[in-house]
Each structure stands twice: as structure tokens, then as C-alpha cells.
Amino acid sequence: MKYVDVEKIKKDFPILNVKPHGKKLIYLDNAATTQKPIEVIKAMDKYYEELNANVYRSPHYLSALSTQAYEEARERVKKFINAKREESIIFTRNTTESINFIAYTWGMKYINEGDEIILTIAEHHSNMLPWQMVAEAKKARLKYVHLDENFRLSMKDFKEKMSDKVKLVAVQHMSNVLGIINPVEEITHIAHKYGAKVLIDGAQSVPHMLIDVQKIGCDFFAFSGHKMLGPMGIGVLYIKEDLLSDVPPFLRGGEMIDEVFEDRATFAPPPLKFEAGTPNVKGACVLVSAIDYIEKIGLSNIHNHEGELLEYGLQKMKELDFVKLYGPKDAKERGGLISFNVEGVHPHDVATILDEEGIAVRSGHHCCLPLMRYLGVPATVRASFYLYNDFDDIDALVEGLKKVRKWFK
Amino acid sequence: MSDLNQLYSEVIMEHYENSPHEKELKDATHKERGYNPLCGDNITLYLKMNGDIIEDASFTGHGCAISQASTSMMIDLIKGKDKKEALRLVQKFIDMIHKKDVNLDELGDAQVLQGVSDFPARVKCALLAWKTLQEIL
Ligand SMILES: Cc1ncc(COP(=O)(O)O)c(C=O)c1O
């Protein structure tokens, strides 16, 4: 493996020693959640052993430490996605919460009757249901951009659907089913010409490629810590600096106020205005350890490594004449995951037989039912890669699929 | 691979691949859809009731081998039975899948699905048709 030292990396992930059904664990479900390196696992204990106190409130030593660590985490995330200002980084639970945040606040305030919201047919339910809610409440219309014959987002269709009526374009950066990486910079540029705002679902892109929100130019960007070596329960919402005052608070309560009277309140400046209640300080601090680890290996190395795995995987899987692949045929502008079906075998049966070999994959609709309908399949199997996977893992998958074929002739 | 041998036994595969019950029942008196949103298993169960007796039954839909075979086996078992007896057998099957000690002989082919109880992720697949039948009756 030329970009990363997989042998060494594997040793950093204790969970890879688990032996499912007595077999070596081949973890290929990274698009669902990734495993955690020992540094990240240790950072969880470290927070509660050395730093724990509530943030912003109390004038004591520990509170100063935890507040400082929390603010450093914000600063770190700001740099990680190259945001302009720290106030633009809001900690949430996950991508889903970040998107709902914008739907309930900015969406409910600025999207009105007759307006249009553009999504893509490949969106995860997390970037679809919140907009259905807004559309229903405000009598707005949802429009879906379709794919071209090679499973890529049709920019032609997108351009045709854009108009002055569109108030928001909400699109995933990378598909968790097809692996396509959408040209979000170009999409943002076009949307802005019509005065529409742009939200990017970065759940699948942030863990695997360098992100520069200023270069993309988007207004909102959402991602989850747990898909990038971090803990569950911490996510990020980025709001572009010029929108920080337009977006109303989401939850209300402690920590987010300026002044409170019996009948009304004024709010603290961002980011505090957006973070009511005691935040997930530990999650934010541990996320920093995950970012440290990723940056130590290097995001471009990780991206190139996954590119190699993808190319190898696509080639090997194409040789299996009983396997049908979904997604663009070439590895270019595709992330490191492969969705497929075994002819005549339901994805759950495939996944169960692979599991017996120690191979962890996901089967199902991947929270993308409209996409499944669009592709004309009830479900698919998905193998998704990360920095600790290697060619042997893919060979194991291919052997596993041959076993599936033996069971279901 | 012994566990898999249980899960994908010949009997199960036979029901999955060549079920005589997989068709629409034109003169059905009851029709109910069973759906498992987590995995997308989707069946429609048809019953032709004559009073309390299940005279005929069939199913359509798609899903994994376990859900399809389980549906087919259930229909084998309940055809010709009355409502009360069918419900008793359904409960028995559910108990078996939940690893309760039951007399399996009464369950016919469906007893081979006992192996599913060792695959927690697949329990829902096995139960889909039986729960749907409970709904109808
Ligand atoms: C493209 C995409 N969007 C959103 C999500 C939701 O992420 P989370 O469950 O962390 O909120 C996922 C994860 O499954 C995803 O793949």
C-alpha cells in the first residue's frame, strides 16, 4: 500500500482484534460508522479524568480548563474545514441534527409559500425529511435532481430545475450508496446566481477528503464525528459568517442568552446563541483527537489510499459475473465504497453469509428509499473502506461472495 | 459453517426458491401487507376465510430467503386450520424464535427456522409473516 502504512495503522485500532465467529474481523462498514484508534479511546477517559466541569458557567479552575478545551475544539474544527470564523462552528449531535437545525430555524423563517427547495434523488433521509417538513408546513415545493446514465448527478437536470423560485439547494457532498462525489463548488456557484442558499451534507465527504468550506462557498455544511474516527454524539454545523445573525436560535434555554425577562429574552452572540444547554464537551474534545489522527496520516493520503482500494475492488468485483454493481463504472470522482447485489440473492442473505466469514458489510436501503426506488432495487449490499483496510480485505470480500454463490446457486 | 447450514438448510431453500404458495389469491377475503422498514422485506398475505376456517392462503412480495421461506412454511401450516388453532401455532412459532422451550413437532417444516434464533439480526425476517397473520386474525 503506497500511501499509508496499513499494517501500522491496524495496530492502532484495538477493535480489529475482535474475532467474529472465530474469524478475523474485516470491517467494511465505514460509511455507517468508523472504528476508533487508541488515541481517541484514551482521550475519552482523559476528559473525565483531567478536565471535566461545566463550560462557561463557573469561575473555578476545572471550568476554565474545560471551557478552554471546548473552545480549542471549535478553533480546531474551524481550521479543519477552513471556515473563516470560529462562530461559524456549532456543535450538534450529528449530521441529522445539523440539517434539522437549519430546517427548523432558517428554513421555517425564510422559505415561504410557492418557494422551491432542490434536493437530489440520492439524498439520505437525513437531508430529505427535514425539507419535507418545511415544504409541508410552508406550502413550498420539493424538486429532485436526477442522475445521468452513468449514475452521476445530472448537472443538466440541475440547471434546468434552478430558477428564481428556488430558495435552497440541499445536496450531499458524497453519496453513501453510489459513492459519487458531487461538484458542490459548481452547484453552489450556480445556486447563488439565483439567490438560493446552499446546504451541503458532508457526512460522507469530511472523513475522506480535504474540505474547504470557503472554497466551496456554501452557506451551511453538516457532518458527524463518528464517521471520521470520532465518538458518537458529536457533530458539526457550519453556518457561513454572513448568515449568523439571520439564523434564529434552534433550542432555547441556558447558556445561550444575553438578558432574560419574565416575558422575553435576548440572545448571546453566536456561537453560544446556537448551543442551548450543557453541550457535549467531551465529544468535542475527543473529536480533536480524531482530527489529530487523521491529519497525522494526512487526508490526501487517506483519499488516495481509498482510491487504490476502490479501483482494486471495482476490478475484482467486475470479474464476478454474478455481481451487479451500482454507481459510476470508473473510480474517478468516486469515494471509497461499493454498492452491489448478488444475482438472485437478497442483500440480507449476502450480508449474513459474509458475516459468518467475519466480514462486516451493510445491507438494506441505506436510508435512501427514494434512491432505491429510482434504481429499481429493494436494497443493496455495501462495502465501504477506510484507512485501515487493505487489498487483503477486498480479496476476503471476493472470496466471501463466491461462498454466497455456492449457497444460493 | 454449521450455523449457516441451519440457516440455509435445504428445506428453507426449497421453500424460498419453489414455494407453491407464492401467488395472488383471486378470491381472497383478507389481504394484508407486512413490511419491515429496516430491511425492506415486503410481503402481502392473502387469506380465504370460510367462517373461522382458513380455506386457502398465499403470498406475494419480495424479501430475503428467511422471510420468504418462513411465509411459505407458515401457509403450509395454517391452511385448513381454524382461527384459534392458527393463532396458537403462530404464538408457538414466535416463542420458538425467541428461544422459549416449545414442542416443535407441531410446527411442521417451520421448525427448521429454529436456527434463526441464533442470528439476532434475522429474527425480524423470520417473524414478519407470522406477525402479519396475527394482525389479520
Ligand atoms: C450521506 C449521509 N447523510 C447523513 C447521514 C446521517 O448521519 P448521522 O446518522 O450521523 O446523523 C449519513 C449517515 O448514515 C449519510 O451517509
Instruction: Please report which helix (H) or strand (E) contains residue A373, including its range.
Output: helix A369-375
Give residue A96 CA to ligand 1 midpoint distance, Å: 6
Asked whether residue A186 falls in the same domain as residue A307, the answer is: no
How many A/B residue pairs have CB atoms within 8 Å? 47
CATH code, domain carrying A304: 3.90.1150.10
Q: How many domains does chain A have?
A: 2
With cut-offs at 50, 70 and 90, classify the pLDDT of residue A373: very high
Asked whether residue A303 falls in the same domain as residue A291, the answer is: no
Active-site residue flag, A367 = yes
Asked whether residue A223 falls in the same domain as residue A96, the answer is: yes
Q: Say yes or no to pLDDT of A299 above 50.
A: yes
- Cα–Cα distance between A45 and B11 in angstroms, integer? 51
Residue range of the domain that includes A402: 6-32+298-407
Q: Averaged over A223-231, what is the pLDDT?
A: 98
Task: Judge: B7–A408 Cβ closer than 8 Å, yes or no.
Answer: no
Answer yes or no: are the C-beta atoms of B19 and B66 closer than 8 Å: no
Secondary structure letter of residue A343 according to DSSP = T
- Cα–Cα distance between A237 and B52 in angstroms, integer? 58
What is the model's pLDDT at position B1?
42
Instruction: Please report which helix (H) or strand (E) contains residue B36, including its range.
Output: strand B30-36
Q: Averaged over A88-93, what is the pLDDT?
A: 98
Q: Averaged over B69-82, what is the pLDDT?
A: 94
Q: Is A378 on the interface with B (CB under 8 A)?
A: yes
- Cα–Cα distance between B28 and A407 in angstroms, integer? 35
What is the model's pLDDT at position B2?
55
> If we measure between CA atoms, which residue out of B121, B124, B136 comes closest to residue B59?
B136
Task: Judge: A378–B13 Cβ closer than 8 Å, yes or no.
Answer: no
Q: Whose CA is nearest to atom 7 of ligand 1?
A: A95
Tell which of A177, A343, A346 to mutate to test the B interface (max B CBs under 10 Å): A346
Answer yes or no: are the C-beta atoms of A304 and A208 closer than 8 Å: no
Higher pLDDT, A364 or A176: A176
Is the Cα torsion angle A10, A13, A15, A18 positive or negative in sign?
positive
- Cα–Cα distance between A16 and A35 in angstroms, integer? 8
Task: Judge: B119–A352 Cβ closer than 8 Å, yes or no.
Answer: yes
Q: Averaged over A56-77, what is the pLDDT?
A: 94
Answer yes or no: are the C-beta atoms of A401 and A359 closer than 8 Å: no
Diameter of chain B by CA atoms?
46
CATH code, domain carrying B122: 3.90.1010.10
Residue range of the domain that includes B115: 3-136
Asked whether residue A48 falls in the same domain as residue A23, the answer is: no
A2 by Cβ neighbours in 10 Å (0-12 / 13-18 / 19+) ranks as exposed
Decide if A1 is inside a domain: no
With cut-offs at 50, 70 and 90, classify the pLDDT of residue B100: confident
ipTM: 0.84
Q: Which residues pair with B56 in a beta bridge?
A: B48
Q: Nearest 5°: CA angle at B129, between B125 and B134? A: 130
Answer yes or no: are the C-beta atoms of B123 and B116 closer than 8 Å: yes
The DSSP annotation for B66-118 comes to HHHHHHHHHHHHHTT-BHHHHHHHHHHHHHHHTT----GGGGGGGGGGGGGGG
Question: Considering A295, A310, A339, which residue would you say is the last residue of a domain?
Answer: A295
Q: Give the predicted TM-score (pTM) of the model.
A: 0.93
Asked whether residue A284 falls in the same domain as residue A359, the answer is: no
Is the peptide bond between A271 and the residue preceding it cis, with omega within 30 degrees of 0?
A: yes
What is the model's pLDDT at position A65?
94
A362 to chain B, minimum CA–CA distance in Å?
10
Q: Is B136 on the interface with A (CB under 8 A)?
A: no
Q: Residue B9: what residue type? A: S
